[in-house]
Structure 1
Amino acid sequence: MSKKLQWTVRVTFWLYLLYIYITVYRQGSFYSFLLLNTFLGYLPIEIALHLKATQSKLIYWGLFVLWLLFYPNAPYVITDLFHLARMDPYNPANGLMSFDLHMWLNFTNLVASAFGCALMGIWSLEYVAQTLQKRFRLLGWPYRTLLVVFLTLASSIGIYVGRFLRLHTAYLFFEPDAVIKQLLEMWNPRMLIFVTFMTIIQLIIWAALVIGRELIGNYDKSEKLLK
């Protein structure tokens, strides 16, 4: 990613976080959690921007471990969409959807955070897979797919930990013993099914991005639309 695009991503997230802070968090809204969740979802994206396949082992693997620990926070924001259930979008008088702009503002904020973190998070996941391919000389789509699936499975486990055990990544640094104990005890069939659901969602997003990117690129190339 070019420096210009990197700063475009950074500034966009920072401005959005400032917007959430001023218009949602400071107002004491129920949706104030979006500030923390969006910030945590942005962290792995920022870490990925500093990761390079040619870095020394110490720097590369240090950044990789940090990215792996924080990455689940990006797709985790998708689960915040369940808070849409707090809204009552239908007018009881006529059964039609209400034109309440405040409700639609809350909807926009939830969806913007979920899509922004998930889509850019998937970019960071594929980019990390690319760097692993380069370091280990694993050429071809089969290796790329295997790496993406493995990293997605790991992130889905992280989503379960965050959503149901209510453990943030930072707890690993402050309460490692308690965290490890809960991680060892969490395995059961229901947990594995949830992890499967989250993995399917993320892989669908990844596949859609890959296919869409390929189709758009091919058309641009065949029609010479871009210089």
Structure 2
Amino acid sequence: MLTKIRNANRLNELLFLGGLSLFCFALTILRHGYSDTKAFLFLNWNLFLAFIPWLLTTWLIIHPKIQQNKIIVGLVICVWLLFFPNAPYILTDLFHLRLKLSMPIWFDLVLILSFAWTGILFGFFSLWDIERILSKYLKQKYITMVSVSLLFLSSFGVYLGRYLRWNSWDIIQNPFGLAFDISDRFLNPFAHSRTWGMTIFMGLLLCILYFSFKFIKKRE
């Protein structure tokens, strides 16, 4: 496996993201030890969920032969899409930033932003992998449209998770309840202004961040 990761030029990325994840974990352990509270330990679970999309696309990248099977690629992308919103979702954990006597607020700010940044990297790196895979089937202009659509779909998923408390696996545990909440917001859009307000503006923010990364990459 390590050889395949190295051959796919993914080893440095793995080490970098792994290092960032360990740094984030260390911050929560430090906070737990200093304050003797479990506040923000949940961020480790959120980061693990953000890691799954990157794991899925990395699996495809290090197995080029599998990419030739459209059915498998399609299934993996569907599963990827279910977990992809978990990456930008960590940005909304800034809602939990409060002045707590147990810890300086600047430390909690650094802690949450570290998790959010690492989650965003997992998400964007995996989206780049999706673009790379789709480039075998689509022209570049269509790939850009797909990426923008996925980012807005992701922001809708962030809303479902943050405000309606749906999880990625609820599509199996409670598919009818999830389908009802989603369909209701499409059938009665004016009754759910917060849904579409957050979806649009979060989507715009994700697009700004994503294409900023792409411009930086091109500049190099």
TM over 0.5: yes
Deviations 1:168-197 (A, max 9, x none): 101112122222222222332412222110
Q: Could you say what secondary structure the match of 2:168 adopts?
A: coil
For 1:44 and 1:16, locate their aligned partners in 2 and report how far apart those are by CA, in whole Å: 20
CA distance in 1, matches of 2:84, 2:69: 22
CA shift at 1:32, angstroms?
2.4
Superposed, 1:62-211 pairs within 5 Å as: 62-84=75-97, 86-87=98-99, 102-134=104-136, 136=137, 138-140=138-140, 142-187=141-186, 188-189=189-190, 190=193, 191-211=195-215
Q: Which amino acid aligns with 2:139?
A: L
Say which of 43, 48, 66 aligns to 1:39. 48
Q: Which amino acid aligns with 1:113?
A: F
Paired residue secondary structure (1:31): coil
Runs of 4+ aligned structure 1 residues displaced above 4 Å come to: 24-27
C-alpha distance in structure 2 between counterparts of 1:76 and 1:5, whole Å: 25
Once the two structures are superposed, what CA deviation does each residue of 1:144-175 show, in whole Å capped at 9, x if it has no partner?
32111111121111111111110010111212
Structure 1 residue 6, shift from structure 2 partner: 4.4
Distance 1:155 1:207, change over 3 A: same
Shift of 1:40: 1.2
Report the equivalent of 1:57.
70
Contact 1:44 1:70 survives alignment (8 Å): yes
Q: Deviations over 1:70-111 (max 9, x none)?
A: 000001111112222x1279xxxxxxxxxx973322111100
% of aligned pairs identical?
Answer: 26
Relative to structure 1, the CA distance from residue 197 to residue 132 in structure 2 (aligned partners, 3 Å threshold; closer, same or farther) is: same
CA distance in 2 between counterparts of 1:208 and 1:164 reads 28
Letter in 2 for 1:139: K
Of residues 186-195 and 7-16 in structure 1, the stretch that sits farther from structure 2 once superposed is 7-16
- Structure 1 residue runs without a partner (length 5+): 90-99, 218-227
Pair 1:17–1:56, CA change in 2 (3 A):
farther
In 2: Cα distance, 1:196 partner to 1:87 partner: 30
Of 46-55 and 60-69, more deviation after overlay is shown by 46-55
Question: What SS class does the counterpart of residue 41 from structure 2 fall into?
Answer: helix
Could you state the TM-score of these two structures normalised by the residue count of structure 2?
Answer: 0.80
**Residues 25, 44 of structure 1: alpha-carbon distance in 2 compared, 3 angstrom cutoff:** farther
- Number of residue pairs matched by the alignment: 202
Q: Which has the larger radius of gyration?
A: 1
| In 2: Cα distance, 1:5 partner to 1:208 partner | 22
CA drift of 1:206 comes to 0.9
Structure 1 residue 122 displacement after superposition: 1.5
**Does the CA-based 8 Å contact 2:56-2:80 persist in structure 1?**
yes
Separation (CA, whole Å) in 2 of partners of 1:196 and 1:47: 27
For the residues of structure 2 that align with 1:173 and 1:21, how far apart are their CA atoms? 31
SS of the counterpart of 1:29? coil
Query: SS of 1:22's equivalent?
Result: helix
Residue 48 (structure 1) aligned to one of 57, 73, 80 = 57
